[in-house]
Amino acid sequence: MEYPHPAASLSVSPDREQHFTTESVTLNCGGNSTEWRVKEYGENYDGLSSFWDEYDKMTSGRQLSDYSNSWEMTGSSCTIKSYWYHEAVFWCESESGEFSNAVNISINDEGLLLVSPVHPVTEGASVTLSCRLRGETKLSDVIFYHNDKLIQNDSRGELKISAVSQSDEGFYKCEHSGEVSPQSWMAVKAASRPGSSSFPFLFVTISVIGFIVLILLLLLIYFQKP
């Protein structure tokens, strides 16, 4: 899937989509501007690609600074620490109208969460999904599902995909000791094709060389006339 290349960037720390309530999540805006607003839109999406389809609707989103006790804004960063369930699409927007990529973040009061990338994964890259229990970081005997289909059920606590392809895009969730996590969408973006960025340069170079050769031929014909 092709994704637009916005003028700004948004990074999330910790870099995952699902978070427990009371955990701090920091959103950082990056770009040419020094004045940023982190905004959110509270509708759920099946995938981040729908953000671009619905951008006109999202421009009416609320600034996080409007929340008096839950959100803190410091420069180009915003720290979220929620004590209740919250799920929304977040993005950065500058005073000059630049906007960043969008990310879906959910803050859950569940006991089990899926650890999955918050940004789209590039084709051919490796990715590791895992499961978290509140208060624990390492689990074993985890079951993983892709679009509700069981894809791994063994003693491993991680799902490793060595080379991501478009077929890996979709919803993932994990299960441990009978408890199932909420599902998250993992997006896959197309890898940049080698040489594609050099095509304009090669085209111009070949055109210039061809023009010079044509001029030389015309001059040669002119001076060879009796």
**What percent of the chain stands above pLDDT 70?**
72
Once rounded to an integer, what is the mean pLDDT over residues 79-92? 86
Tokens representing residue 15 in the block: 């870099």
**For the chain, what is the mean pLDDT?**
78
The reported pTM is 0.70
Alpha-carbon distance of 42 to 27, in angstroms, equals 16
Q: Using CA of residue 221, residue 222, residue 224, residue 225, what is the dihedral sign?
A: positive
- Would you place residue 69 in the very low, low, confident or very high pLDDT band (cuts 50, 70, 90)? very low
- Would you place residue 178 in the very low, low, confident or very high pLDDT band (cuts 50, 70, 90)? very high
Tokens representing residue 16 in the block: 């995952």
**Cβ proximity of 106 and 80 under 8 Å:** no
- Would you place residue 201 in the very low, low, confident or very high pLDDT band (cuts 50, 70, 90)? low
AA identity, residue 10? L
| Dihedral angle over CA of 95, 100, 103, 106, nearest 10 | -20
pLDDT digits (tens, 9 = 90+) for 117-126: 999 999 999 9
Once rounded to an integer, what is the mean pLDDT over residues 128-137? 88
Least confident of 54-63, 150-159, 201-210: 54-63
Q: Is residue 55's pLDDT more than 60? A: no
- Would you place residue 200 in the very low, low, confident or very high pLDDT band (cuts 50, 70, 90)? low
